[in-house]
Amino acid sequence: MKNILIIEDDVYKKTDIIEFINKKYQDVIMIDSCESYTGGYQLAMSKHYDFYIIDMTIPKFDKKVGTKEQSLPNGGELLVETMLDSGITPVFIVMTQFENFGNETLSAIDARLKADCGDLYKGTVKYSTDSENWKIELEKILDYVIHSNN
């Protein structure tokens, strides 16, 4: 059984991803999820995960009822850096709906993650409610993760 952590603050997107994975991989993947930088870091420190699906724009803290938490445009990338600094070696993808993050493009972030994280970084999956392409891309990556010995 492979353990996956999904760090995603959009409830609809997270539900869509979880439903896809559960339908396709229910006997081989266990999923945990959270919605923030802090929640992702705390879970990563408390349990071994074989794979991470990380949104690029995430809030620093979990949302509290009646409040609006400000998102970090590069929160997913910052989380990976923090995990690496703490001795966690996350095998991960970035799954996002956006092309721009603050003053940076997704392709610039993708190139930096490839350079900084090497084989730990498995690329970017572009999520869209208008297309099923993200499912095909995610399936290829998950098939690799399931059959790897990491």
Q: Please give the Cα distance from 31 to 50 (Å, whole number).
A: 10
Per-residue HEC secondary structure of 25-65 comes to HCCCEEEEEECCHHHHHHHHHHCCCCEEEECCCEECCCCCC
Tell me the backbone φ, ψ of residue 56, rounded to 5 degrees.
-75, -40
Domain containing residue 83: 2-147
Q: In the 8-state DSSP scheme, what is residue 74?
A: T
pLDDT at 64 over 70: no
Instruction: Give the total number of structural domains in the chain.
Output: 1
User: Structure tokens of 125?
Assistant: 């999956």
Instruction: Kindly report, residue by residue over 23-47, the tens digit of the pLDDT.
Output: 999 999 999 999 999 999 999 999 9
pLDDT value at position 89? 94
pLDDT value at position 23? 95
pLDDT value at position 8? 95
pLDDT value at position 68? 65
What CATH number does residue 143 fall under? Answer: 3.40.50.2300
Instruction: Kindly report, residue by residue over 101-122, the tens digit of the pLDDT.
Output: 678 888 898 999 999 999 999 9
Q: In the 8-state DSSP scheme, what is residue 69?
A: P
